Amino acid sequence: MQILTLEHFASRINETFTVDLGHGKSPFVLVEARPLPAAAVPGMVRAPFSLLFHHTSAVLFPQRIYQMENPGVGDFGIFLVPVARNQDGFVYQAVFN
């Protein structure tokens, strides 16, 4: 299992990440990748960070683990939580700590 870090995503802003919704694949666009404040802890595997993805569907997807893929990052499971709605769809957040 690969430990994902902010460096895997920081250069991929505005790239599409494909999510398998079980009945087809759907595009989520990475709109933000930022570090989260945290004190260093012995044995810490990675620094915490947050990702925001935008999806243009009018349908709200529930928070859960989704299988996501991107050519530069590969395939991975990610826990997405809907955090905002805008005129173009919904914003979903993933927090890694």
Domain-located, residue 13: yes
Residue 64 lies in a domain: yes
What Cα–Cα distance (Å) separates residue 28 from each residue in 41, 44, 53, 82?
32, 29, 6, 12
In the prediction, which pLDDT does 3 show? 87
Count of domains forming the chain:
1
Strand ranges (DSSP E) for 1-97?
A: 16-20, 25-35, 49-55, 64-70, 74-86, 89-96
Q: What is the pLDDT of residue 44?
A: 78
- DSSP secondary structure string for all residues of 1-24: -----HHHHGGGTT-EEEEE-SSS
Quote the pLDDT of residue 45: 80
Q: How far is CA 86 from each of CA 58, 68, 79, rounded to the nearest angstrom?
A: 10, 22, 21
Per-residue tens of pLDDT for the chain, all 97 residues: 578 999 999 999 999 999 988 888 999 999 999 999 987 778 778 889 999 999 999 999 999 999 999 999 999 999 999 999 999 999 999 999 8
Question: Could you tell me if residue 55 is inside a domain?
Answer: yes
What gap in Å lies between CA 36 and CA 48, rounded to an integer?
5
Domain membership flag for residue 25:
yes
> Is 65 domain-assigned?
yes
**For residue 1, is it within any domain?**
no
Residues spanned by the domain of 90: 6-96
What local confidence, expressed as pLDDT, does residue 6 receive? 95
